Amino acid sequence: MAADTDTAAESEAPADPRTALLPEAAALLERFRARLGDAVVDAQPCFGDAVVRVTPDAWLRAARVVHDELGCDYLSFIAGIDWMPTPVADDDAGSGDTSAPVQPRDTTYGVTGSEGRFQLLARMQSTSTGAGITLKTDVAEDAMRVASWTSVYPGADWHERETWEMYGIEFDGHPALRHLYLPSEFDGHPLRKDYPLLAREVKPWPGLVDVEAMPGEEGDGDDESAGGE
């Protein structure tokens, strides 16, 4: 009797969303695997959906399959990932990390892993069924470039511009890879973990052309009036 009760309880327990695929996501993954074959490096469930890591040379082909054959006609986003741990200054080693969430001190990769520091992450969905899939691919640190998706998803245009701007990843075939947020003269890629956050102190921010003096600094308008008194 107790064994039957346990069995019934197990059968009624909800599936763990971190390790179970929704039926529609499982169907997409099966069809994707059938088309991409060995180009699929790894595939893991993540809160019901599938996260699939593909080889870099299959990045564009993967987009075509997802768009043309799986019916995922909406590109939600393309983003870069820098898995490098946030640098810690020597004099900050014992102070602890008070950021939220706390940044890892060692390299840890997310779902489906990574071969190196940089990756691309993209999410696509069907506007008719709502089913979706997330793709990832590695980006070699000594050859930061992959094929552009703009020929498949026109909306990839500004996502790829932002990713290039912030991480330095080039997109072959992009029609106009130019700055989106930063001045054209800006040097560096601000979302790389090793980009100096105090850059404005060691190198003038290109956008600051009319810098007003702080109170008490030379050039402050109060100096003259103070002297007149």
pLDDT tier, 60 (very low <50, low <70, confident <90, very high otherwise) = very high
Is the pLDDT at 66 greater than 90? The verdict is yes
The reported pTM is: 0.75
Paired residues of 40 in beta bridges: 54
pLDDT value for 94: 47
pLDDT value for 89: 57
Average pLDDT over every residue of 149-174: 97
Is the pLDDT at 17 greater than 50? The verdict is yes
For 187-217, write each residue's pLDDT tens digit. 889 899 888 766 445 555 555 545 556 666 6
pLDDT value for 106: 79
Distances (CA, A) of 18 to 13, 48, 108: 14, 7, 18
For 71-115, write each residue's pLDDT tens digit. 999 999 999 999 988 766 555 544 455 555 666 677 888 889 999
Is the pLDDT at 225 greater than 80? The verdict is no
